Amino acid sequence: MGLLPGRLSPRLAEGVTRLASGMPFAQAAEHLAFFWGVRLSASTIRQHSEAAGAAHVAVQAAAVDRLEREAPPAPPAAPRDGDPPLQQVSADGAMVPLVGGEWAEVKTLVIGTLAPPGPTAATPGPHATDLTYFSRLADSDTFTRLATVETHRRGVATAGTVVGVMDGSLWLQGFLDYHRPDAVRILDFPHAVGHLATAAQATFGAGTEAAQAWLTAQAHTLRHDDPAQVLAALHALPTASAPDPAAAARAQAATLAYLASRWEQIQYAAFRACGYPIGSGAVESANKLVVEARLKGSGMHWARRHVDPMVALRTVACADRWADAWPQIVQQWRTQAAAQRRQRQQARPPAPAPPAPPTAPAKGRRSRAIPSLPPQRSGRPHPWRRPFATTERIRQATAAKL
């Protein structure tokens, strides 16, 4: 019959989950009552949607285990207008509030197919289309491993060129090493400009016209020309005349070391000539769309165990992959419910043994047990026990009275 665990019909169960993946549980209850005429409490909707999300988390974890065990060939990546597929891979993290005032980082991966620059001013440069997501509240190593379910599905290993636009975190370089070692690695341009701003403000003063003029000039050079000119300008900063010369010198040295160690990742003029993006705006938008729009509402605080189920549903809904993912969620949900029933049955105490039947007497011997007789009643006997009166006795009784 296609029934799911719980008391909701299959259609209602799917509708409740979709509503809860996009709005707070109380608001989902209001929409459900208005459009479907079904009244459920916010807690019931929360429990139901978290169970569905947990099933999707289990589906993806099982898929990763299978990929590692069987090592199947990666599927081909989607082509770009008949040309070899060109993909963008970016990852980043966003903070979410947990119960008890704690905050934790949810990491998100976004994968897209790079399209050439558009014909209008609204799409001046290369941009990613067909975006899909993977999010987890996990450390970097665990996230890198679990993301295999999405990188394999999108054919990252078979794409013609993969452009990894990331910020400067070391774990992100490890992510590319794990999934596509030959990826073109690009340091997010706004991230690089932010480091230049730190050095400029330490030298000229925060908010000064001199700091802004120097930063504008160097950002233009970094974007369009040789980055060696920017490193030379950094080296020539007048840190000795800064408001705090020691702090300015430290900021100058740190920025020089940071950009020099990522020399191959800051060749922005060459990247732009190849049609590659130089900003990680796709993953920044993904953080807002997938994570923050649902998990950082006013007054929200999440139990740690409920974060992954919710962001798993968000990645499905935001990528418009619900029709593909829901049947897998349903199948896993039923499997989990059946396993829980078996565990409950095994945990029950054993039923008491039935009483032993009476022992039959030995063959050839008569039982000496004598059934007990009811006790004799004392007192005057009941009239029906008296002897019947004959005619002679009646005559004698009459004569005695006379």
Which residues constitute the domain of residue 259?
Answer: 189-278
Claim to verify: residue 245 and residue 114 sit in the same structural domain: no
Residues 6+ apart with CB under 8 A from 192: 222, 259, 266
pLDDT tens for the 402 residues of the chain, in order: 455 666 788 889 999 999 999 999 999 999 999 999 999 999 999 999 999 999 999 999 999 999 999 999 988 887 655 566 899 999 999 999 999 999 999 999 999 998 876 555 455 578 889 999 999 999 999 999 999 999 999 999 999 999 999 998 999 999 999 999 999 999 999 999 999 999 999 999 999 999 999 999 999 999 999 999 999 999 999 999 999 999 999 999 999 999 999 999 999 999 999 999 999 999 999 999 999 999 998 889 999 999 999 999 999 999 999 999 999 999 998 887 777 777 777 777 876 777 777 666 555 555 555 555 566 555 555 555 555 555 666 566 666 655
Here the CATH number for the domain that contains residue 94 is: 3.30.420
Burial of 83 per CB tally in 10 Å (0-12, 13-18, 19+): exposed
Claim to verify: residue 117 and residue 218 sit in the same structural domain: no
Residues 6+ apart with CB under 8 A from 184: 161, 162, 163, 164, 271, 276
Claim to verify: residue 224 and residue 101 sit in the same structural domain: no
Claim to verify: residue 45 and residue 100 sit in the same structural domain: no
Rounded Cα distance, 269 and 206, in Å: 29
Does residue 100 sit within a domain? yes
Alpha helices, H only, 154-303: 170-179, 189-204, 209-224, 227-235, 245-260, 268-273, 281-286, 293-295
Claim to verify: residue 291 and residue 221 sit in the same structural domain: no
Q: Residue 121: its pLDDT value, please? A: 46
Does residue 56 sit within a domain? yes
Host H or E run for residue 17: helix 10-22
Claim to verify: residue 285 and residue 179 sit in the same structural domain: yes
Claim to verify: residue 286 and residue 260 sit in the same structural domain: no
Does residue 308 sit within a domain? no
Claim to verify: residue 294 and residue 159 sit in the same structural domain: yes
Rounded Cα distance, 136 and 312, in Å: 8
Claim to verify: residue 154 and residue 201 sit in the same structural domain: no
Claim to verify: residue 49 and residue 125 sit in the same structural domain: no
Does residue 23 sit within a domain? yes
Does residue 228 sit within a domain? yes
Q: Residue 126: its pLDDT value, please? A: 81
Rounded Cα distance, 149 and 129, in Å: 20
Claim to verify: residue 114 and residue 98 sit in the same structural domain: yes
Query: Strand locations in 41-197, DSSP E?
Result: 86-97, 103-115, 127-136, 161-166, 184-187
Rounded Cα distance, 361 and 134, in Å: 76
Does residue 313 sit within a domain? no
User: What pTM was estimated for this model as a whole?
Assistant: 0.82
Claim to verify: residue 61 and residue 30 sit in the same structural domain: yes
Does residue 401 sit within a domain? no
Does residue 398 sit within a domain? no
Number of domains in the chain: 3
